[in-house]
Chains A and B, each alone.
Chain A
């Protein structure tokens, strides 16, 4: 199976338009609530960044967020878990751990990695929509991506980590590696 880029982008766009969200920062909790996913924060050790617990045969969910992590990271976690909720099936409890050796016999490691990639892609599409970014960059006169300060400004505006913003800008062709 390949990464469903188009499907993921369309899903993110439709969620944003349904809630009439048209500018950054994206209210990711509002989007989750609209999909019957509630947020449950907890201050625990950083080994686990978040989890997804499904109820009502996958129709509702609890998204666990570790709030000992930075606020921007928490937003990404929520978007990532929401991605699993809306894109994937199979597990009633999905944990996202920082350092993990997955060893499950019923799902191939490759398949799980693919789901992580899809959830990350969904989070990027949701928190940093291409259309919003292109517009904002256009408004920043003489956007010079080599200026760290501008990446920082964008990250602040979208309430995401600078690392997430750099990856997104690279994918959109504004930055090259």
Chain B
């Protein structure tokens, strides 16, 4: 497995999991989502698992059905802001653990070189 194929696989799995997340959030079944964009249920299952690589127009159709922007499903390359990072950190943790996470997150590389 080359690093290129690994990265590509992760992109589709990430997009797929966002589609699933939005679908579940809206209580839509795979069947209903499939019907709304003219796909089979199996295709939606495979897209959600990252196993089927959809063309851009299908991505746009899925986004429209889910009432989100295609960009949301693709995800952002922009580094997260401190506020966004803070929102990810569970409230219940001790202050020292929260600080440790915030300090680490601030050091994240913003560009992936050769993945």
Contact = CB atoms under 8 A, between A and B. Distances in A.
Given A55-B109, A60-B110, A42 B14 contact: no
A61 B75 contact: no
Main DSSP-derived SS at the A contact region: mixed
Interface residues of B, number: 40
Contacts of A35: 115
Contact of B107 (A45, A54, A62): A62
Interface string B38-77: 0000000000001000000000000000000000000111
A92 B88 contact: yes
Contact of B14 (A48, A57, A106): A57
Interface of B: 1, 3, 6-7, 10, 13-14, 17, 21, 24-25, 50, 75-77, 79-80, 85, 88-90, 93-94, 96-97, 99-101, 103-105, 107-115
Interface of A: 10-11, 14, 18, 35-36, 38, 40, 42, 44-45, 47-48, 51, 53-62, 64, 86, 89-90, 92-93, 95, 106
